[in-house]
Amino acid sequence: MFEKLFKLSHYGTDVRTEIIAGITTFLTMAYIIFVNPAILASTGMDQGSVFVATCLAAAVGCLIMGLYANYPIAQAPGMGLNAFFTYTVVGGMGYSWQIALAAVFCSGVLFVLLSLFKVRELVINSIPMSLRVGISAGIGLFLAIIALKSAGIIVANPATIVSLGDITSLHCLLAVLGFFLTIGLVHHNIKGSVMIAILVVTGIGILLGDVPWHGIVDVPPSIEPTFLKLDLEGVFTVGLIPVIFAFLFVDLFDTAGTLVGVATKANLIGKDGKIPRLNRALLSDSTATVIGSLFGTSNTTSFVESTAGVAAGGRTGLTAVVVGILFILALFFAPLAGMIPSYATTGALLYVAVLMISGLSHVKWDDLTEAAPAAITCIMMPFTYSISQGIALGFISYALIKLLSGQGHKVSITVWFMAVIFALAYVFHVFH
């Protein structure tokens, strides 16, 4: 049955190797079941319900990717996208989390349509590398400032906007310990490094009496508080158009980058340089986002941590199916997830931030017409405390800089279109 479904012998693998690869991938990304509920709970969403939604969305995404696309790529609610959902759409723009879920649903539907009509490659290829890298690095910086703020490492200061907090406090020290421990474990290639660091910091918090003990295993919480609670009527406002596009573009770039990276590492790229069954993989990702929004979580996307499973030998969709099954089993660890304090996840957020910021090495720094828009995109996300503002200003600056430098003809129609849309959004005060 496995041979027929996944063509194991064709890819030079076997059931045992795929299972080990699946477990490896799960351990490297399981931190999301702790971090995602903690972030989305800041919007007023029920944390237990979001925990269940996170596990279910991840499980469904992995099963679709494994059974339909036959790729060893795991899926779960994405980092960065959950921060955009919480701190920009709900916290910054003032929309309810129900409307934000509807925006996620709409972006997922658009993603499905782009995949079905094979427009996805046209869109991605027309967006310059400098903007793609700038968006990714900007989200990394945005995650960093969120992590530092939640741990109290940086605090508000009316004179300097921000300043260093009391880094000798227990929460700050444990947050810093979590980050250093994560980096140390990752450096030594320890499987599940991020999750281990989160659990160690939480354990210290429990021993010091800072974290109340609730147990480890129990019946999963109810998903009712978030299930099908999206407000589709409220999403049809002019102000949410840039938000939907921001969700769509970030998810699109995330997925494309991960697919290329994992497929390359697994030697799954065809002789023509193309990724086989690419459309199936994209449909799996976009469908998972739609389903995840119905459960009650932000965009579900392909996780770059899947490369850990590929390094362990994973080559087929059986790896992703194993990850999906493990996410279902994770449903019974809700009490443990509920005990994780915010400072315990600081290390994970900063680690992800480091990975995302490192992409700036791909910017052509000797070409200012490419470097400046990337820098603007990257800088404006944390300084405006808004991912959508960073994306908007990035597109506008790219088009204008190219135009003023006599290279307007090099700007794609897609970039011009988005630049005009975002400029009009500022003119009519859509961003607020």
Q: Is 256 in contact with 115 (CB distance < 8 Å)?
A: no
- What pLDDT, on the 0 to 100 scale, is given for residue 124? 64
Q: Which pLDDT tens digit goes with each residue over 11-21? A: 888 888 898 88
Q: Which two tokens stand for residue 24?
A: 């490896």
Q: For residue 274, what pLDDT band results from cuts at 50, 70 and 90? A: low
Which of 270-274, 351-355, 375-379, 415-419 is the most confident on average?
375-379
**What distance in Å separates the CA atoms of residue 183 and residue 346, rounded to the nearest whole number?**
12
**Helix, strand, coil tally for the chain in percent (to 5):** 70, 5, 30
Q: Which pLDDT tens digit goes with each residue over 38-96? A: 999 999 999 999 999 999 999 999 999 999 989 898 999 988 789 889 988 898 888 89
Q: Is 111 in contact with 289 (CB distance < 8 Å)?
A: yes
- What pLDDT, on the 0 to 100 scale, is given for residue 319? 92
**What distance in Å separates the CA atoms of residue 231 and residue 234, rounded to the nearest whole number?**
6
The percentage of residues in the chain with a pLDDT greater than 90, rounded to a whole number, is 37
Q: Which two tokens stand for residue 285?
A: 């990702």
Strand partners, 164: 154
- H helical segments located in 208-333: 241-265, 278-295, 306-311, 317-329
Q: Is the pLDDT of residue 432 over 60?
A: no
- Where does 20-159 show beta strands of DSSP type E? 75-77, 154-157
Q: Is the pLDDT of residue 266 over 80?
A: no
Of all helices (H) and strands (E), which one includes residue 302?
strand 300-302
Q: Which pLDDT tens digit goes with each residue over 198-231? A: 889 999 999 999 988 888 888 889 999 999 999 8
Please give the full DSSP string across 38-68, using - where no structure is assigned.
HHHGGGT--HHHHHHHHHHHHHHHHHHIIII
Enumerate residues 6+ apart whose C-beta is below 8 A from 238: 428, 430
- H helical segments located in 296-367: 306-311, 317-329, 334-339, 342-357
For residues 362-380, b (16+ Cβ closer than 10 Å) or e, as one string? ebeeeeebbbbbbbbbbbb
**What distance in Å separates the CA atoms of residue 353 and residue 136, rounded to the nearest whole number?**
9
Helix axes 317-329, 47-64, angle to 10 degrees: 160
Q: Is 317 in contact with 22 (CB distance < 8 Å)?
A: no
The stretch 137-158 carries a mean pLDDT of 86
The answer to which of 82-86, 292-296, 325-329 has the lowest mean pLDDT is: 82-86
**In angstroms, what CA-CA distances link 94 with 91, 146, 149, 199, 273?**
6, 18, 20, 33, 45
Question: Could you give phi then psi for residue 332, rounded to 5 degrees?
Answer: -85, 5
